[in-house]
Structure 1
Amino acid sequence: MTFTPHGKHLIAGDWVSGADTFASSRVTGDGHAVSRGTPAEVDRAVQAAEDAFWTYGYSSRDTRAAFLDAIADEIEARGPDITAIGTAETGLPVARLEGERGRTTGQLRLFASHIRDGAYLDVRHDPALPDRQPLPRPDLKMVQRPIGPVAVFGASNFPLAFSTAGGDTAAALAAGCPVVVKGHPAHPGTGEIVAQAIQGAIRRCDLHPGVFALIQGDQVDYAQALVQHPLIRAVGFTGSLGAGRALFDLCAARPEPIPFFGELGSVNPMFILPQAAAARAVAIGEGWAGSLTMGAGQFCTNPGIAVVASGPDGDALVAAAAESLKGTAAQCMLTDGIVEAYRNGKTRMDGRNAVRPVLTTDSQGRNAMPNLYETDAATYLQDHGLGEEVFGPLGLVVRVDGPDQMSALARGFEGQLTATLHMDDGDTDAARQLLPILERKAGRILVNGFPTGVEVADAMVHGGPYPASTNFGATSVGTLSIRRFLRPVCYQNLPGAIGPQYLN
C-alpha cells in the first residue's frame, strides 16, 4: 500500500489537523492518529459550502455531470490503495471492497447521466391566458432547484457506497448542493483517500473548494454542531435507530427545522406462502441462510425474520436453514461496537421464555457466528422487542397457523425497507391478501428472492415507513434520491432573460 493516511480534515480545500486526536482501530496493521473535529471546524466547512453554493448551485448540468464523472475517475485511479486501506480498517474481503468501489463509481456516473438528461427537473409551464374570464391567468413556470449545503453521515457497513462519496453525496452534488461529510470513525483512512479523490476532481473541474468537506471524529459535539448549523439545509444519514432518532430530533428542534433523511435499518420479513413451502422448503431455507449470513449479516436489508406456517413444510424449511447455518464460518464484523451489539441482541433472544433456540453459537473477539431462533405469531405480536433489528447473522422464524394469522402478523410489523413473498402459482390468492398490507409497510417488495443487496437503478426504492427511515416518501438509493435535495420553485411572469436556463 502506497497510501499513508495523515488523519486530517479537508476543509475549504485545505487539509487541516486538530489539537485532539483519536486512534483508528484496524483489523490488520497499525492504526493512525485521526484529528477530532470541533464545532469551529464544522462552522468553517459549512461557511465555505455556503459560499460555494452561490456558484455551484447555479452551475450547468454539464458542469456538475463532468464533476461526478471526474470523482469516479479519481476513485478508480486510487483503486488498489482504497482496497488496501479499506480491508485493513474493516476486515471486509478484497472482492467485497472492489465490488463496492465499482458500485460507488457506478452510481456517480449514473447521476451524471441522470442530470444531463434533465428530466429530474420536472419543468412545468402553464402559459399566460390574458383573455380568460372572469380573471386572466399569469404565466407560470416551475422547476426543481437545489436547496443548499447538505450534511452527510458516513455509514459503518459501507465504507465506500454509503460513505464519503456514496449515494447521499452523489445525489446532493448532482442536485447542485455542496456537501459536508461527517466521516465514520471505523474507517477514517478510507474516508480520507476518497476525499483526496474528490479534491482531485474539484481541481480538475476548477470548482470552488468549499463544494466538498470531510470532517473526522468519534465524538458527539461536532456531529450535533453539523446538523444544527443554520446554513445546513438537509441531512443524509445511514446508521442505527438510536443515533438516527437523536439526530432527527435535533433537526426538528432547530429554530428553522430541516429534513433529516435517515435510513435506520429493518428486519426485512419474508413471508413463505404454503404452496412455495410445500414445493421448495429446503431450497428457501438454504437460500435464507446464505442471505442472512452474507457479509456477516451487516446489511440493512438483511432478512432477519422468516414467517412460515406450522407443520412439516415449515419444519423442513427451519431444519434446512439451521443445517446451512451450521456450515458458516466465523466472520469478522466491522467494529468492536457492532459485534458487542450483536452479542447483546443474542442475549436478549436467549432471555425470552417463549422463544426457542434452534441454533445458538458463541461469537469470539471481533468475529460473529450465526444464530437462529423460533417463536409463534401470538408471542411476536405481544413482544415489541422481537421486532428490533439485531445487526448481524441472527434469524428469527415466526410460525403462523394459516393465511389469516399471517395477514394479522404482517399488520403488526413496523415500517420496513423490504418485505418478501415466496410464492408459487397456487399462492396467488394468499399473496393478493398480503400485498396491500406489505405496500403500507415496506419500500421494496420482492417475490421469490432475497433482499440482501440493493440495485442502483432508476426504479429502486431504499426507504420505507418509520422506523426503516425517517421520510417514507424518499429513497437513499437510485436516481429518485436526488429529489431529497431539491425543492420546487414557481416563477410567475418571469422574464426569460433573468430566469434559470432550464425554463427557456
Structure 2
Amino acid sequence: MIEETSKENIEVRIQMASEAYQFLKNTTIKQRAAFMNAVADQIEALGEELLTTAHTETSLPLARLTGEKARTVGQWRSYAKAVASGIYTEPRIDLAQPEKQKGDLRKYNIGLGPVVVFGASNFPFAFSTAGGDTASAIGAGCPVIVKAHPAHCQTSQMMADAIANTVKEYGWPEGIFSHITGTSYEIGTYLTEHKDIQAVAFTGSFNGGKALFDIASRRENPIPVFAEMGSINPVFALENLIENKAETLAKEYISSLTLGVGQFCTNPGVFIAVKGESLDRFITVVKNEITGIVPANMLHKGIYESFEKHKIEAISQPDIEIIAFIETEEGKGSAAVIQTDAQSFINNPVLSKEVFGPFGIIVTCENREELIQIAQNLKGQLTITVAATSDDIRENSELIHFLKDKCGRLLFNGMPTGVEVVYAMQHGGPFPSTTDARFTSVGPDAVKRFVRPISFQNWPDEFLPEELKNENPLQINRIVDGEVNLGSLKLETV
C-alpha cells in the first residue's frame, strides 16, 4: 500500500523549500558542488539492498541496475564539476566607460526557485528520485520536491534517504530536498499549480507531460515544465548502406528495438526505407530475429497494459501487414513488427504514436521523394538515425536538411538506445518529444533548465555575488568587456 502524502504535508514541504531557496541563493557554486559530490558518495555506498529492492519492484536485471547506479553516481559528480566551473552562472561584466550611459553592468544566472521532479518508471535511479533532474536543479541552486513514481516506492525512498542524509550532514535546511508519495493525479496538479513552485521536470507519457504543461501555463504566474514525453525515433535506411548491410542492419535494429523489453525513450520504433531486394533481405532477417526474442516482464502492470493496448491498436489499422508477432504472455512484453507503406504511415496518425515496448513498424517507400515526404510530416523526435554511407548523404542532402528540423540528436549509423552523460549530448527535441527543445535532460547542460539571469547595475563590489566581484574569488571564466577573462579586475572601488 502506497502512502498518500496529505495536502497539509505537501504545503509544509513547499514552505520549507521556499525558505531553503533563500539559503541556496547564498551558497557558492563550490559549496553546491561539494554537496553534490557528497550525495554521490552516499548513493555509491548503498549496497546490495538497493539493487535487489529495485530488481523486485521493476523486474530490471541486476546487471542493468548496477550499471544504472554507476551512471547515477557519475551524473552527480560530472554535474558537480560543471557547476563548480561556473559555466552555468555565465558571468558577464561590462565595465563603466565614459561613453556608456548605464555605467557598470554585471550579469549572472541564479536558480529559479523550488522545483518539482516527477520520477520516471523506466530508470529508477538515473531518471527518478536521485536522477539527473534532481542533481541539475540542486546544482543550479534550486530546492527539489520529488514526487516518487509509485512503481518503485521503496527504491525511491532509499535514494531519497541518501540525499536527506547529506542535507543533514551539511547542516543545510531540510527543505533543500523533500520526497512525497502517492498515486492520485491531484498531487501532481496541486504541486504544479502552487504559486511557490517555479519549475517542473517530468519524464513519462505524452498525456502526463502535456497535462502538467497545460496546468503550468494556466497559472497566474506561468512556469516552465521540462517534460520528456516520448518519441518513435525513426531510422531512415538509405540505398547504398542497406544494399551492403541489410542483414547486419536488421540484427542491429531488432537488438535496439527490444533492448530492455523496448522500455527506453530512445527505442527505434520506426524503420523507413525504399522498397526493393535489399529491404526484402532486411525484413527476412527481422522475422528470424524476432522469433528468438523471449518475452520478459515489463516494468509494471500499467506499462504492460498500455503496451498491449497501443500494440493492438496499431496492428488493427488498415493497410498493415504483420511481419512478426510473438504470442502475448500476461505481464510480459511480447515483441511484434508490422509493415505499412509510406502514404498510409503519413495519413494515419495512429501509426506515428509511440508504442512503449518492443514494437516496430517498417515503412516502405516507393522512392526518395516519399522518404522526404515522411521527413516533412514527422513530429518532433528525441532522435533520428540515418543508416547511410557517405555517398548516401551526398545523394540525399534534401532529406537530411528536413531531418535536422525534427530531432534533438541526429545519428549517422548506429542505433539510438544508449544516452551518454556528456556535455555534447542533446536529450530533448521538438514538440511533442519534449516541451522545450532548447534544453537537454541528460548531460551537465541539464543545469541550464533551472537558472535565470539577473543583472546588477552600478553596485558596490562588496555587495555583489562572488561570481561578479572584481577579485573573482571563485576563479572562474567570465566575459569582461566582450573578452574571456579568468583573472581579477584591478579597479578603484567607491
Pairwise TM-score range, normalised by the shorter structure: over 0.9
Q: Please tell me whether the aligned partners of residues 403 and 430 of structure 1 are also in contact (alpha carbons under 8 angstroms).
A: no
Q: Please tell me whether the aligned partners of residues 407 and 430 of structure 2 are also in contact (alpha carbons under 8 angstroms).
A: yes
2:269 partner letter: G
Task: Select which of 7, 17, 20 maps to 1:52.
Answer: 20
Per-residue deviation at 1:62? Answer: 1.7
Which residues in structure 2 correspond to 1:465-484 (within 5 Å)?
Answer: 465-484=430-449
Give the corresponding residue for 1:78. 46
User: 2-side partners of 1:252 and 1:413: how far apart?
Assistant: 25
CA RMSD of aligned residues (A): 1.0
Give the corresponding residue for 1:266. 231
User: 1-side partners of 2:314 and 2:364: how far apart?
Assistant: 16
Alignment of 1:122 onto 2:87: no
1:99 partner letter: G
User: 2-side partners of 1:394 and 1:76: how far apart?
Assistant: 35
Q: Secondary structure at the match of 1:261?
A: strand
User: 1-side partners of 2:188 and 2:63: how far apart?
Assistant: 32
Give the corresponding residue for 2:62. 94
Q: Please tell me whether the aligned partners of residues 423 and 431 of structure 1 are also in contact (alpha carbons under 8 angstroms).
A: no
Task: Select which of 64, 71, 76 maps to 1:108.
Answer: 76
Task: Select which of 374, 394, 398 maps to 1:429.
Answer: 394
Q: Please tell me whether the aligned partners of residues 415 and 465 of structure 1 are also in contact (alpha carbons under 8 angstroms).
A: yes
Alignment of 1:357 onto 2:325: no
Alignment of 1:440 onto 2:405: yes
Q: Deviations over 1:120-158 (max 9, x none)?
A: 21111111122x1xx634211110111110000000111
1:376 partner letter: D
User: 2-side partners of 1:36 and 1:206: how far apart?
Assistant: 28
Give the corresponding residue for 1:11. none
Q: Deviations over 1:162-182 (max 9, x none)?
A: 000101001001001000000
Give the corresponding residue for 1:315. 280
User: 2-side partners of 1:488 and 1:251: how far apart?
Assistant: 21
Q: Please tell me whether the aligned partners of residues 66 and 205 of structure 1 are also in contact (alpha carbons under 8 angstroms).
A: no
Alignment of 1:343 onto 2:308: yes
User: 2-side partners of 1:159 and 1:44: how far apart?
Assistant: 26
Per-residue deviation at 1:350? Answer: 2.2
Give the corresponding residue for 1:494. 459
User: 1-side partners of 2:39 and 2:158: how far apart?
Assistant: 12
Per-residue deviation at 1:431? Answer: 4.1
Per-residue deviation at 1:266? Answer: 0.2
Q: Secondary structure at the match of 2:328?
A: coil
Give the corresponding residue for 2:364. 399
Q: Deviations over 1:162-203 (max 9, x none)?
A: 000101001001001000000000000000000111111112
Q: Deviations over 1:9-59 (max 9, x none)?
A: xxxxxxxxxxxxxx2xxxxxxxxxx31112222111111011111112220
Which residues in structure 2 correspond to 1:53-68 (within 5 Å)?
Answer: 53-68=21-36
Task: Select which of 126, 142, 158 maps to 1:193.
Answer: 158
Q: Secondary structure at the match of 1:358?
A: strand
Q: Please tell me whether the aligned partners of residues 273 and 430 of structure 1 are also in contact (alpha carbons under 8 angstroms).
A: no
User: 2-side partners of 1:266 and 1:283: how far apart?
Assistant: 24
Q: Please tell me whether the aligned partners of residues 319 and 344 of structure 2 are also in contact (alpha carbons under 8 angstroms).
A: yes
Per-residue deviation at 1:292? Answer: 0.3
Q: Please tell me whether the aligned partners of residues 314 and 350 of structure 2 are also in contact (alpha carbons under 8 angstroms).
A: no
Q: Deviations over 1:51-78 (max 9, x none)?
A: 1111122201121111111111111111
| TM-score, with structure 1 as normaliser | 0.92
User: 2-side partners of 1:127 and 1:432: how far apart?
Assistant: 46
Alignment of 1:153 onto 2:153: no
Per-residue deviation at 1:433? Answer: 2.1
Give the corresponding residue for 2:167. 202
Alignment of 1:140 onto 2:105: yes
Q: Please tell me whether the aligned partners of residues 216 and 224 of structure 2 are also in contact (alpha carbons under 8 angstroms).
A: yes
Between 1:225-234 and 1:196-205, the stretch displaced more is 196-205
Give the corresponding residue for 2:249. 284
Per-residue deviation at 1:426? Answer: 2.2
Give the corresponding residue for 1:13. none
Q: Please tell me whether the aligned partners of residues 379 and 431 of structure 2 are also in contact (alpha carbons under 8 angstroms).
A: yes
Which residues in structure 2 correspond to 1:169-188 (within 5 Å)?
Answer: 169-188=134-153
Unpaired runs of 5+ residues, structure 2, are 470-494
User: 2-side partners of 1:256 and 1:162: how far apart?
Assistant: 27
Alignment of 1:239 onto 2:207: no
Give the share of equivalent positions with the same residue, in percent: 38
Alignment of 1:36 onto 2:1: no
1:252 partner letter: S
The number of aligned residues is: 469
1:448 partner letter: N
Q: Secondary structure at the match of 1:187?
A: helix
Per-residue deviation at 1:362? Answer: 2.6
User: 1-side partners of 2:102 and 2:166: how far apart?
Assistant: 46
Per-residue deviation at 1:425? Answer: 2.7
Q: Please tell me whether the aligned partners of residues 224 and 250 of structure 1 are also in contact (alpha carbons under 8 angstroms).
A: yes
Per-residue deviation at 1:229? Answer: 1.0
User: 2-side partners of 1:368 and 1:352: how far apart?
Assistant: 20
Give the corresponding residue for 2:487. none
Q: Please tell me whether the aligned partners of residues 360 and 372 of structure 1 are also in contact (alpha carbons under 8 angstroms).
A: yes
| TM-score, with structure 2 as normaliser | 0.93
User: 2-side partners of 1:37 and 1:403: how far apart?
Assistant: 55
Q: Deviations over 1:240-260 (max 9, x none)?
A: 001111111100011111000
Give the corresponding residue for 2:195. 230
Q: Deviations over 1:368-420 (max 9, x none)?
A: 11100000111111101110000000000011122221111111110000000
User: 2-side partners of 1:491 and 1:129: how far apart?
Assistant: 16
Q: Please tell me whether the aligned partners of residues 309 and 400 of structure 1 are also in contact (alpha carbons under 8 angstroms).
A: yes
User: 1-side partners of 2:47 and 2:431: how far apart?
Assistant: 36
Q: Please tell me whether the aligned partners of residues 393 and 400 of structure 2 are also in contact (alpha carbons under 8 angstroms).
A: no
Give the corresponding residue for 1:19. none
